Every structure is written in structure tokens, then in C-alpha cells.
Amino acid sequence: MLKLPIHYLKKLPKSSLRNYCAELGVQHNIFNRFKKDDYTNITDRVMYHMNKNLHLKNNHPLSIVRQRIVNYFNKTFVIRNNPVFSVYDQLPPIVTVDQNFDSLLVPTNHPSRNKSDCYYINRNYLLRAHMTAHQMDILKTGLNNFLIIGDVYRRDEIDKTHYPVFHQIDAVRLKDSKDFFPDNDHFQIFEASDDAESIRGQEKQPCHTIEAVKIMEEELKSTLEGLAKSLFGEKIEFQWVDTHFPFTQPSWELEILHNGQWLETLGCGIMKQSILTSAGVTDKIGWAFGLGLERISMCLYKIPDIRLFWSKDSGFLNQFDLDNINSNITYKAVSQFPQCKNDISFWLPESKEFSSNDFYDLVRNVGGDLIEQVKLVDKFVHPKSKKVSHCYRIIYRHMEKTLTQKEVNIVHKEIEKNIRNQLGVTIR
């Protein structure tokens, strides 16, 4: 049985941290199946989080929110008493670069493809960075209405709202001209156009009629506003913001007002027609969206730290053992253990590239869930040598006990050793 490093540290000599990581690696040795190459950057820590299926776990807040959203769709879209949307919630997270990017028209130079943003297994495979990665495959099966739910993986900063693994629900809904007005043979979805991809931004795609786009926009937005109200109550305040995705046009984000702040909760839009064409769909127009389950659960239940979703502590999980999944309970902190702060300063390597996300990953890989936050607090360029130095503040906090400075120092030393060896930095 695997435990958090701090338990492990107590039982074993200091040098055992690496064994702990190795132990994690054995559990999911995906490198028996996939060859490593110069793109490989997936960490043991991230592999350890694969296949946990928190979104399907009984009494887990992510699972409760998933169920509420699925219920909303089953209630809202019904034909002859049958739910219209099919649900995929157990697709494995390893996908191809084609699935995650190419099939969705993400340009080859788009920053979201960078090694510093994704967990690559090798040049051809990565852990999906969004559930949209499965859109093309499901479209090709001929389905018109579906939800895709699962864990997604992104390299990012470390704080209370970011974690390398989180959960998303994606949806697709397609309609042909008969679905708009069954009695009207003249309603057109398409009109002649020169170049379907030539117009960018918020305008409609040239191949669509304005009528079809407006009706789709209205259905998409009212569906999502209805969803927000069913989760947060009728009084929830929200706003639509124009945005851009490579796979939808026009595209929007829905922000909700939470504790006086506008929070982005989802992205959506009218699907790019060329995606549908590639999937063999020629007579339909579609809308799609993707939303993050953690963000919604944190607002809904006032969960203060994203690491709590991974807690095995009964003090956390028991609070979500609800008789009625629709009850809007407020999470009560079991107790708040004190933080320990340690700074780390180093000179960046001169002969090698350095990305802060490499550093964050390494810190997380060694320190695991003891790491609450990592912040770049100072940057400095030496006036003579032109060498660059970064100083990061690492905030340690265990969710279930008080950490001693001595325990923190062991992990901190291990982080120093690892960044020296792996990132080529010089500790100051």
C-alpha cells in the first residue's frame, strides 16, 4: 500500500525517497509499452495518479458533480422518455498527438503543444490535456449527442487551484436541418462559401447560415446557463466572454461570480465544420463545450485546496456521503495544520534551457502532496556575468498533520539534490 512520503520518511532512512518514487514507477510501468525518447517528460508522481477514477468514486465530490451534470443532461434532452446523450467516462488517458491536437486543428506551432505544457510519454503519445482529445473518435462512430468524462493532465504552476491532474466533462451535440424545424423543408444550415477556414475570431464560419448558427448559439448558451443554475441555484450571476479555440468558431467562455470574483468555468462554441467533415459528417452542425469538475466542486462545496480531492482521509470523504446528491453542503475544514516555508535560490544553467514548469514538476515529484504552493519570488541577472538567478518560495503543508521543520528539511534537501542533478542549476 502506497502512502504519502511523510509516513514513509518516518519508517525508513533518509535516502529512501528515491526508492519511494521507484516504487510508484513499478505500479504503472508504461515504458514496457512505450519507448522513451527526447520528448519523454512524464514523472513518476503523475503516473501514480493515473487510473484513480476519482470521478467515478462513491461519495467523492467530483463524482457527485459528474452525476449531477449527467442527470441535468438526461433531464433536459429526452426523446420518447430516453436520454439523448451517451456517456463515455472510462476512456484511458494515453492518447496520440493526433487525437489531442491534429484532429482538432491545433496549429503545429500552438503553445499548448509545448513540452513545457504537457506530459509526453514520447513524441507520439501523451496524457490527454483535455477530454476533447476523444471527440473525433466518437464522432466517427456516428453518435450525435455525447458526453466524455475523465482525468486530464497539464503541466502548470503549483497553488491551491492547480494540480497536474484534474477532471473534465466535454460534450458534443449535432443537428441536421430536420432537427431544427421538422415541418420546414426549406431551413438551411449551409450556404456557399469560398474558404471555410479563412475567417477567424468571433464571426460565424463562412459555410454556415447565420440562422443555424444563432439557433445553435442560443441552445448552447441556454443549456449551459441552465446547468449553472441547476448546480448553483437560480441566483447565480454569470457572464459570457468571447474567446478563441482552434476547434470551435465562434467560441465563448462562461464565467460565474464567486466570492466577488469572475471565475472561468468552461469553454464552448460552434464546432469547426472541417472537423465534422473529417469525421464523415456532412449534413450537420454542432456545438461543443468542455468544463472543469474541480473548479465547479471547489465553488459549490467551498473546498479550499485542490489537493483535498486526492485525500483518503475519512474527515474529508465522509462529508460527501450524501443522502441527496443535490444538497448543497459546505465543506468544513477538518483542521488547518501550519505551513512551513523554505526558499530555494539557484543560478540557471548556461548551456541548457530552463523552464519553470520543469522545476515545478520536479518539486512535486519529490515532495508530492506536501507541497502547497511554489512561487517565483525573485529573478536577478548578475550585472557582470549576466548569469540569471531565480528564487522560489516553497510552501509545505500536510493536509492531515503538522509537519516539523526537520521533516521539511529532508524533502527540501532532496529537492535541491534533484534539481542540481536533473536541471543543471547551481544552488546559491
Residue ranges binding ligand PHE (CB under 6 A): 130, 132, 170, 245, 247-248, 267-269, 288-290
| Torsion on CA atoms 348, 353, 358, 360, rounded to nearest 10 | 30
Cβ atoms of 361 and 119 within 8 Å: the answer is no
Q: How far is the CB of 145 from ligand PHE (least distance, A)?
A: 14
Q: Is 2 exposed, middle or buried (0-12, 13-18, 19+ CB in 10 A)?
A: exposed
Measured distance CA(90)–CA(102) in Å, rounded = 23
Cβ atoms of 419 and 425 within 8 Å: the answer is yes
Q: How far is the CB of 305 from ligand PHE (least distance, A)?
A: 22
**Alpha-carbon distances of 100 from 173, 266, 325, 414, rounded to whole Å:** 20, 18, 33, 34
Q: How far is the CB of 269 from ligand PHE (least distance, A)?
A: 5
Q: How far is the CB of 389 from ligand PHE (least distance, A)?
A: 34
Measured distance CA(98)–CA(163) in Å, rounded = 25
Q: How far is the CB of 104 from ligand PHE (least distance, A)?
A: 8
Output 65 or 268, the one with its CB closest to ligand PHE.
Answer: 268
Q: How far is the CB of 296 from ligand PHE (least distance, A)?
A: 14
Output 5 or 269, the one with its CB closest to ligand PHE.
Answer: 269
- In eight-state DSSP terms, residue 217 is H
Output 218 or 343, the one with its CB closest to ligand PHE.
Answer: 218
Beta sheet of 426-427, edge-to-edge order: 371-381, 388-396, 340-347, 426-427
Measured distance CA(42)–CA(121) in Å, rounded = 6
Output 247 or 309, the one with its CB closest to ligand PHE.
Answer: 247
User: Which position's Cβ is nearest ligand PHE?
Assistant: 290
Output 5 or 250, the one with its CB closest to ligand PHE.
Answer: 250
Output 221 or 302, the one with its CB closest to ligand PHE.
Answer: 221
If residue 381 lies in a helix (H) or strand (E), which one and from where to where?
Answer: strand 371-381
Output 9 or 270, the one with its CB closest to ligand PHE.
Answer: 270
Rounded to a whole number of angstroms, the distance between the first and last alpha carbons of the chain is 38
Q: How far is the CB of 252 from ligand PHE (least distance, A)?
A: 9
The set of residues, in sequence order, having a beta carbon less than 8 Å from that of 373 and lying 6+ positions away, is: 158, 159, 160, 393, 394, 395
